[in-house]
A and B are shown apart, each in its own frame.
Chain A
Amino acid sequence: MRRYGYALLAGGLFGAGLRLSGMTDTLKVQGFLDLFGAWDPTLAFVMGGAILPMAAAWRVASKLDRSYLDLALPGPATRGIDRNLVLGSVLFGMGWALAGLCPGPALASISFGGSGGLAFLLAMLVGMIVAPSLRRRLDAARPSPRSKMDIRALTPTYAVSPQIDPSDLPAIKAAGFTTVIDNRPDGEIPADLHTPVMQAAAEALGLTFIANPVIGGAMTMENIRMQAEVMANATGPVFAYCASGNRCSVVWAMMNAGEKPTDDLIATPAKFGYNLEPLRGQIDALAAQKR
């Protein structure tokens, strides 16, 4: 329940800040963008004022494993700059200048923005509803540059790979794999590569799809147990992916600790550039536990 209290608090503070700073007044926003007219610098003060506490919050968050309410924190900002980011920002900037409203102030001012404010909000929501299909069309028009698939077989029944996208799945099936494991938390990848999307695409091809998200540097025993269980139940070779394939390799080494010599568990991933040497002590310790 406290989670909703804090969400209400954050939303309320956000709304109050928008109203008091003047950002619900479209003249102030347009005034900031009107470099060649009567330039109004207020928005720069708002941005600067907002970035200060937020920068402090990111520093605090970087030292936490979980939020104060024991909820997962956002993953690292690993996504690169892509065409959708630039194209979307161009469209957004044009609309922002035309009316002087962006999503936050459009919502915050809805109680006093009159019928014009309501019309803007409704048009914005329509835009948000059509955006995903527009994005799919844009992405389909050009092959996704995000796929970095490279099948790296650690054993005849287990291969790892950097991030894949749905268009890679037919090739994975054709290569004889029957199970795909996603070792990447959704928080670190774009929505169109999230578990539900990948799972639906994989299952449509008759592949078994398992999400076993491993947080970089914070692998759990549950991660290792689950990966082993999937391997044991698989009807054929297993294909695992994460950002680079490193985490999939580490889970593999951990689940085979004691079953195979530690030297082999380090040497095999090393052939593909994954350095597990720093984990030698942990692999040995796990092997000792199993004996």
Chain B
Amino acid sequence: MMDWFWGLAGGLMIGSAGAVFLLYNGRVMGASGIIGGLVDGSGWGNWAERLTFLAGLIGVPYLLSLLIGGETHLTSNWFVIVLAGLLVGIGTRLANGCTSGHGVCGISRLSWRGIVATLVYVGAGALTMALLRQLFGVI
């Protein structure tokens, strides 16, 4: 029942994080781009900035989990986990952005790429759920 409140509050924090990263670091806050540039080598020019961002992204939820716990309810099906991870990794780098880059940062500047990408991945996600959960019941 308080889900929408925490959703909104957490969302405001995510948007504020993007605002800080844009106005101070001069960068678009996209999770897939920040980590992707480190693993494929295209972002080694500012690796230290990327690593400190990731330290915050990983460290603060860790500290919070000590206080309020954390549960991801991730599926225990290893095949699904690995397939999903591969699809997310390839897809976000091919599209040059994910929920944070295209969704939050793109839509908020009314970028057509951000708007189209978001409609497409939400649409593809909803279709996947409709087929695999509602129709075939496999996830």
Known: A22-B7, A123-B86, A127-B91. 14 other contacts (CB 8 A): A12-B59, A27-B73, A35-B130, A37-B133, A40-B3, A46-B11, A77-B106, A94-B87, A98-B84, A102-B99, A103-B31, A103-B35, A120-B82, A134-B90
A120 touches B54 (CB 8 A): no
B40: A residues at CB distance < 8 A: 128-129, 131-132
Nearest B residue to A135 via CB reads B94
Decide if the interface of chain A is mainly helix, strand, loop or mixed.
helix
| Contact-size category for A | 35 or more
For the complex, what is the distance from the CA of A52 to the CA of B9, rounded to whole Å? Answer: 11
B129 touches A190 (CB 8 A): no
A74 touches B15 (CB 8 A): no
B52 touches A101 (CB 8 A): no
B84: A residues at CB distance < 8 A: 95-96, 98-99, 101, 120, 123
Nearest A residue to B62 via CB reads A111
A111: B residues at CB distance < 8 A: 58, 61-62, 65, 70
With beta carbons under 8 angstroms apart, the residue of A47, A81, A108, A128 that contacts B89 is A128
Decide if the interface of chain B is mainly helix, strand, loop or mixed.
helix
B88 touches A102 (CB 8 A): yes
A95 touches B86 (CB 8 A): yes
**Quick one: which of A2, A28, A91 has the most chain B CB within 10 A?**
A91
A26: B residues at CB distance < 8 A: 72-75
A7 touches B14 (CB 8 A): no
Q: Decide: A113 near B26, CB < 8 A? Known: A13-B13, A16-B60, A21-B6.
A: no
Contact bitstring A225-245, B, C-beta under 8 A = 1, else 0: 000000000000000000000
